[in-house]
Structure 1
Amino acid sequence: MEITLWDYSNIISKWLIYIGIAAAIGGPFIAALINATVNKKSLLNYIVISSVLGFAAVIINFFIQVGAFSETGLSGMFDTGLISFLWQSAVGDSVLWRLLAFTVLGFALLWSNLNAKYGTFSFKDATFTFLYAAAVFSFAYSFTFIGHSAVIGGAAKWLLAFHIITVSWWVGALYPLWLSCKLLPPPVLYKLMCLFGKIAIFMVGILIACGIGLLYLFLENPLALLTTTYGLAMLLKLIFVGSILLIAAYHKFRLVEEIQQQAGIKKLQKSIKNEMLIAVVILTITAVLSSILGPE
């Protein structure tokens, strides 16, 4: 299979979209768990910058797909006929819902900013919670229009949507948790990590259930994991996902008890940093799977 410049561009833009969605979902969630008196300026910057980047990547990715369809070079990205055609297709529906999600989240951040001082930014306002939930649903819904699951239809597209949202929640929460090691005193950090660990158990259950369901629908048989290009790429992703879950288990059952001391906090920071590096790889593989590889 020959990989074109359009394919590389598609992969990179999708990777940026996933980063933006992850920050938009995981960032506010962790911020809501942190005490309101903590200065959250750095956390807010993470959410805003990543979301703006994701918003721009959604638009850029749409024009990349137009250019790929046109096959007439860079000028093909602005073919008005193809732009109109794709905008009225499932691709356009997906783009619309993602842009809507980022916009709704932007309004949620603006609303909370108008009702709280910048340094003590509140993520627990009822209106913010409603808008945040609406944005998460919009992100999830956007994944039901395109991709391999949309072709299969039925439960597959919603399994993928829940899977992506769960992964995004996890990945997007990592940087805020890393920041928390700097922002919070040991006792407060301990409570945050314990609470996150309890919530994560439920989220991991959803992640695993959706993952198994997707593998069953996408692969003809278990051997396809070893005999097809798509299967091998999926297997590689599963290995990295397994690695990140093992690190999370280490945090919950061993390391969390050590963060009452400064040395334990440093170990936690380093471990979360390793998780973030693995998460970057997982999102990269996901971008490749959704762009140039598919079930046979």
Structure 2
Amino acid sequence: MFDVLQVTGKFLTYFGYVAIAGAFYAPLLCNEVPDADAGQSIVKKYLRGCIVALIFAIVGTVLWFFAKTGALASRGIDGAFDPLMLKIVWSAAPGDALLVKTLAFFGALMVIIRYQSAQYKPGKMFYIGMGLPMVIAAFSSTLTGHIFEQAMPEHIALIVHIITISWWAASLPLLIQLAYQYPPSHVRRYMLRFGRDAWVPIVLLILTGVGMIYSLADLPEALYRTLYGNLFMVKASLVLVMLCLATWHKWFLVPRLVNNTPETVVRSVQVESIIALIVLLTTAVFTTFTGPHD
């Protein structure tokens, strides 16, 4: 039971990563929107979703901590709330991760709420207020699990990996929202902008993912002989499908948007969004139940 709760909590925390990355990127992408007022309206609507996602992430972080405590106590529900066990776990790496991650999510939440209540465009302080929590939240993932014992390069790779996959997942609902709001010619414009922005994060995502699995696992045997390797291959296959869809969008669907309605692109991006959720869930499962040497 506690393993399932840990997966659930960890999955919800990923919503926080995605929300912060999306809040950072949404104003930048919407600068391409011809109607500035409409662009601001879309950003504010999108940020409301980010607020909800961050609240879920904070709840998920706390849930993960208590589930971790209960799993270590091995005494059922009572073990998750045992004062002695809570004190022990709080003073260890899970407590550090809980504190750092929660502060990062809460800080980002406050920045977004302040922006939502003000009547100004995001400036330097807004992007700093989003960028720092993103890096800090990603850093908190290096404080627990098998990556904790690795050297600094692996930690940096994980941080970059989290930021890039979060940005990719966050951009998809934003693209859908924009596609519903504007005519095909405008949709094509910001789809092209997204395509220009995407190649660096996607390259970094692939390089860090390959680098980490090469560093953590005994290749190539681990990919098919261990549960960790099997689940990694599932995740890699899903990411490959997302890459294929993104390529299809860039080279086939988007160039035809001037004369066609965006429904096909919207449906394809919706499928990509579902796959992104499955990728995050798969990541939560294989980082909870397995390790590189399992």
Give how far 1:282 is off.
0.6
Give how far 1:27 is off.
4.0
Tell me if structure 2 keeps the 8 A contact 1:108–1:132: yes
Q: Name 1:147's counterpart in structure 2.
A: 145
Is residue 2:49 matched to residue 1:46?
Answer: yes
Q: Name 1:84's counterpart in structure 2.
A: 87
Opposite residue 284 of structure 2, the aligned amino acid is A
Find 1:20's aligned residue among 16, 26, 40.
16
Give 1:198-213 correspondences, 5 Å limit: 198-213=196-211
Q: Which runs of 5+ in 1 are unaligned?
A: none
Give how far 1:83 is off.
1.5
Tell me if structure 1 keeps the 8 A contact 2:184–2:258: yes
Is residue 2:185 matched to residue 1:187?
Answer: yes
Greater shift, 279-288 or 30-39, is seen at 30-39
> Aligned equivalents of 1:127 and 1:27: distance in 2?
13
Find 1:130's aligned residue among 128, 142, 147.
128
> Aligned equivalents of 1:90 and 1:260: distance in 2?
53
Find 2:4's aligned residue among 4, 8, 15.
8
Q: Name 2:212's counterpart in structure 1.
A: 214
Opposite residue 37 of structure 1, the aligned amino acid is D
State TM-score, norm by structure 1. Answer: 0.91
Match of 2:174, SS state, is: helix
Give how far 1:129 is off.
1.0
Find 2:28's aligned residue among 26, 32, 38.
32
Identity of matched residues, %: 27
Is residue 2:233 matched to residue 1:230?
Answer: no
Is residue 2:106 matched to residue 1:109?
Answer: no
Give how far 1:290 is off.
0.9
Tell me if structure 1 keeps the 8 A contact 2:17–2:138: no
Greater shift, 172-181 or 34-43, is seen at 34-43
Give how far 1:262 is off.
4.8
Q: Which runs of 5+ in 2 are unaligned?
A: none
> Aligned equivalents of 1:155 and 1:206: distance in 2?
14
CA RMSD of aligned residues (A): 1.6
Give 1:275-290 correspondences, 5 Å limit: 275-290=272-287
Tell me if structure 2 keeps the 8 A contact 1:186–1:260: yes
Give how far 1:187 is off.
3.0
Give how far 1:157 is off.
2.0
Opposite residue 185 of structure 1, the aligned amino acid is P
Is residue 2:270 matched to residue 1:267?
Answer: no
> Aligned equivalents of 1:222 and 1:26: distance in 2?
35
Give how far 1:253 is off.
1.3
Q: Name 2:101's counterpart in structure 1.
A: 98
> In the comparison of the two structures, how many residue pairs are matched?
286
Tell me if structure 1 keeps the 8 A contact 2:23–2:130: no
State TM-score, norm by structure 2. Answer: 0.92
Tell me if structure 2 keeps the 8 A contact 1:10–1:61: yes
> Aligned equivalents of 2:258 and 2:58: distance in 1?
39
Opposite residue 61 of structure 1, the aligned amino acid is W
- Which consecutive aligned stretches of 4+ in structure 1 deviate over 4 angstroms post-superposition? none
Q: Deviations over 1:40-90 (max 9, x none)?
A: 243122111111111111111111111111111112111122212222211
